Amino acid sequence: MITEEKKQLRKTIKEIKKNFSELEKKKQSKIIFNKIEQLAAFKKAAVVLLYWSMDDEVFTHDFIDKWWKQKTILLPSVAGDVLNLKKYSGFRSMKKGEMFGILEPTGDDFTDTDKIDLIIVPGVAFDKNNNRMGRGRGYYDKLLSQTKAVKVGVCFDFQLFDVVPVEKHDLPMNMVISSL
């Protein structure tokens, strides 16, 4: 039954997102990243894992561009059912990924997950208990279970609920930051 609940919630969120322009999503994203910059965990972090956002996600491109020269910024690269991590070294080092057509960094894999200080995690929906519901492929659940880094979920205000359906393998965030 949880699978059905998740499926329905994903569908609902997808419909809600259609009501928000790219400009509005970018404005809300800026609010979110201004909050992240104030976090002690971010200020102390030397290695930050982010994601290169898709059109329907909290927009990360400007934030990555702002910080990649001061901090080691890692981005995921999809290989089958696994997320490999690669260091971001500027927009010119990006290429279109094979799985989803999302830009991904080129170069060597970053395998020392113990060195990651902070992970900024996308999601379809989050709840007030820091639970996250992703797109259903489990990429982040596998990755997050391998690190002790601070996990910060990011979402637009309409993606934050009192409760989202969770299963045993769904890992909670340390905190969730929305545009509210």
Tell me the three-class secondary structure of 120-176, residue by residue: EECCCEEECCCCEECCCCCHHHHHHCCCCCEEEEEECHHHEECCCCCCCCCCCCCEE
> Do residues 2 and 167 lie in contact, with contact meaning Cβ atoms separated by under 8 Å?
yes
Closest CA relative to residue 105, chosen from 143, 49, 63: 49
- Domain ranges (residues) in the chain: 2-178
* Residue-wise pLDDT tens digits, 1-26: 678 888 898 899 999 988 999 999 99
Taking only the tens place, the pLDDT of each residue in 70-88 is 999 999 887 777 778 999 9
pLDDT tens track for 21-64: 999 999 999 999 999 999 999 999 999 999 999 888 999 999 99
Within 13 Å of residue 52, how many CA atoms lie on the same side as its CB? 26
Which fold would CATH assign to domain 2-178?
Answer: Rossmann fold (3.40.50)
Q: 56: burial class by Cβ within 10 Å (0-12, 13-18, 19+)?
A: middle
